[in-house]
Structures are given as C-alpha cells and as structure tokens.
Amino acid sequence: VDVVIHNAGMAFKGAAPEPFWEQAAVTIKANYHGTVAAHEAYLPLIKESGRIVFVGSMAGMGWMLRDPAYSDLVTNAALTMDVLSQRMNQFVAAAASGTHSELGFPNTAYGT
C-alpha cells in the first residue's frame, strides 16, 4: 500500500434526540477508536516509502484554541496513544455521569 487516507468521521445533528452520553460514546467509538483500529490494521501493509494522511475538520481545533490544557495535551511531543485513549475514555465516562462540563470537557462530542 502506497497511501492510506483516514477520512472518516461522524457527528450528531444539533437537534438529535439521543442523550448526550450516547452521542459521546458513539462519536468517540467511530471517530477515535475506529480511526485507531483502521490505522493499526493498515500500518503493517504500508510500504516503507508510503504515506499516511489524516483528514479532519476544524471542529477539534476550535476546542483546542479555547482550552489551553487540551491544547497542551494534544500538541505535546511526548503524548502516547495510551494517554490519549485514556483521555477519550475519560470524556465518555464523564458524559455518562453528567460531569463532563465541570471536568472541563466540551458540550459537544464531535469537537472533543
């Protein structure tokens, strides 16, 4: 494989009837865990000179610019997949318990 382009993502509409905790769980499962799984599946197949391209929206950038702690996390060169996965799981758990806002998470599952 010469090039893999990750361009998958989903978002609930603003008026979606699903409760926020469900939107958070479904969105993170698709947009984060799904991308990680696809990446791990394709990585062994990519040629040494191959390329991986990730396509994303500006939704995540908006939150990153508003929250210095989040910005520091995702721009830290020492960030590991384990730490990032823990953060995604913390968001889903906080959404499920209704504490996401007080823990500094956004009120949107898409721009997390």
Per-residue model confidence as pLDDT tens digits over 65-78: 667 777 788 888 99
Task: Please report the pLDDT score of residue 100 as a whole number.
Answer: 93
Mean per-residue pLDDT, 38-54: 92
Per the structure block, which two tokens stand in for 2? 């010469």
| C-alpha dist (Å) from residue 37 to 76, 88, 110 | 22, 14, 18
Q: How confident is the model at residue 59 (pLDDT cuts 50, 70, 90)?
A: low
Q: Catalytic residue positions?
A: 110
Enclosing H/E stretch for 91 = helix 81-97
Percentage of the chain lying above the pLDDT 70 cut: 89
Helical ranges in 1-67 per DSSP H: 20-28, 34-42, 59-66
Note the pLDDT of residue 110. Answer: 75
